[in-house]
Structures are given as structure tokens and as C-alpha cells.
Amino acid sequence: MKTILLLLTFLPAFLFAQITITSADFATADDTVRISKATDNSIDYSTTGANYTWDFSNLTFDSQFRRDFTPTTGLPVLINFVFGPMASNNYRATYSLPATDLPIDQLGTILPITISDMVQYSKMTDDSITSVGLSMNINGNGIPVKSDTIETRYTFPMNYGDNHYSRGYTRLDMNPIYDAIWIQYRQRFSEVDGWGSVTTPYGTFDALRVKHTITEVDSVRMVVFGNQVWIPIPVPESHIYEWIANGELDAVMRIATTMAGGNETVTSIEYKDFNLTANVNELEFAFDVYPNPATDFIILSNTSKNDSFFIVDEKGKVVKSGSVESKIDITSLATGFYELVVESNHLFGKKSVIKQD
């Protein structure tokens, strides 16, 4: 009896795997990740801990986009010199991503300039992922902007209980396009504050939970009535909560918040997903399913045992998932129409399936 009680005491510690995250678990140049965006003002982003279970399976997507990790080849000459293969080692970027949340886009409201096409450049090594700088179009001119102090977003290997502090300093002198200077100063504190199992509409994963706290002070120097003045750009404190799993290329779940008036407000919810919106001709991977309509089981062709499948109902919820087998049992599904999605080496295919009585 004592042996049984002892096993029951320690059983919860073995329900999920406490994983380690390395740079190999993140995307690199030429990788793509499909992301769904959702809205849920009541979502619980703060509860965490060791051997914890997070369940976000009831989220439904509002929209989707594809995150393309673009290689730094074929860049315009000036940007290539700063961030491309010929750049100095610290600034030789691995990939770039669109920069969609930078306060510099507010400058267009206070300065007579047009800023567009903002891009962030990242460098990946075995030890870290850093933000080495930006590029943007100012009045149609492509401008590279090196970060004088390089911010570290992740350090590796990553384990439960780890934390790190980093800061970034970036200065953009817009002369001679316009007589103004923009300065960005960021501080980031990242802590791995949980581990366990996270479930999203995409699936269930052993994961580490990472909380990033970001404070930023931005300002712009401009000429007002012949005098140079510094104008602050208000940037509220923000938090990014991420659930990171082995081999998934990006966080499988990400929630962003901002602080305003002492209250923390959710600004975005994203989770890794398969393509729910693509037409058949847009898909990256072809397979066949039969019989269709089906009653008890379906069989897939042009797939392998290393592939994964997801059966999605008309509300966009995953009702069955797993590794591809010789037969997939669908007897438990209600009669109706479903989307069958297959993932093979990070490529996705989709077929409509009818379950009948």
C-alpha cells in the first residue's frame, strides 16, 4: 500500500515532459509558419507554474497570415551592406520579418514624412536570437538602421527557471531626407516561468512558458520654429507570453498585452495553425482520402507515418488529430462536413470530408 501511495504522490511530475528549447526549435531563413489570430478578452494569460496544463482549445480564428522568415539575400545595395552576407559579423542577419509594432510608425502623424515597409533583421546563433536592426522606406528611400546596442530576444539552451535581461538602443538620423532624429531605447526581461502541456486548436504540446516584459522610451528630435526640440513618443509597458515547443519553428501560442492606467489589456492572441483559408490550388502538399463520404474510417494516400492529421469541424475547432495511420477511425464524429488537414515536413494539404451515418 505504501508503494502505491508513493507512486501516486509522484505521478503528476511525470504527466508531461519538462523540455529544453534550443535554437534548432526556431525558424530560420526560408521557413514559413501559418498563424491564426483570435479574440478573447477573458483569456487567462497569467496563470503558470511547473507541470501545468494550459487549455486554449476553444479559441476560434478571426484571421490568418503566413509568417515568412525571409533570407537576407537580394537586398538593396545599402541594406545588403549593413545586414547582408557582407556585413560585419555582429550585424550579419539570418532572416528578416516585417516590423508591425514599432512606435516609429507614429512619426508620420507629427512629421511631414511617409514611413513604410518596416522590416526587422534577426541574427540566430546556437546561443541566442538577437535583433540587429531595422530597415524602412522614408519618403520612398530605403534606409538601414543598425542597433547600436543589440537586443537579445532569446538565449539558449532554454530551461524552466531561466531568465535574462537585455537592452537595445537604436538611433536613426533622417538627414538629409528630413531634419529629424529618432531614438529607441528598449529593455527586455525574459523569464521561463512555466512548463507543462499546452493545448490550442492546432494540437497539444509539451512546452515551456516564457514571459517577456518590455519597457521602451522613444523620442524624436525635430526643428520647431527654428529651434531643435526633443519630443517623447509614449510607449506603454508591454508583455509577451509565449508557449514554445520542440520543433515547431515558432511559439505555438503567443499573447501580447499592454499596461495602461495600471491595467493589463490583451492586444493580440496568436497561435500556430494550419491553413484554414487556402483554396485547393494554394496548398503546399497533395494527398487523397477515401472513401468519401465515409461512415467508420478513412484511408489516406501519398502520406507517411511521420505526417500529422487534423480533422476540423465547421466552427474551425480540431475534433480529432494524431499521426497518420493506415486507417483513421471517425466513428465518434457527428454526421456533417469536415476539413481534413495533413502536415508533412511543415507543408500542409487539405481535403473536405463528409461523415455520414
Stated pTM of the model: 0.81
- Residue 16's pLDDT is 63
- Residue 174's pLDDT is 87
Contacts 24+ apart (CB under 8 A), 124-128: 124/23, 124/26, 124/28, 124/94, 124/95, 125/23, 126/22, 126/23, 126/156, 127/23, 127/155, 127/156, 128/23, 128/152, 128/153, 128/154, 128/155, 128/156
- Residue 158's pLDDT is 97
The domains of the chain, with CATH numbers, are: 16-272 (no CATH), 280-355 (2.60.40.10)
- Residue 9's pLDDT is 39
Write out pLDDT tens, residues 268-326: 999 999 876 666 555 667 788 888 888 899 988 888 877 888 888 877 778 888 888 87
- Residue 74's pLDDT is 84
Low-confidence ranges of the chain (pLDDT < 50): 1-14
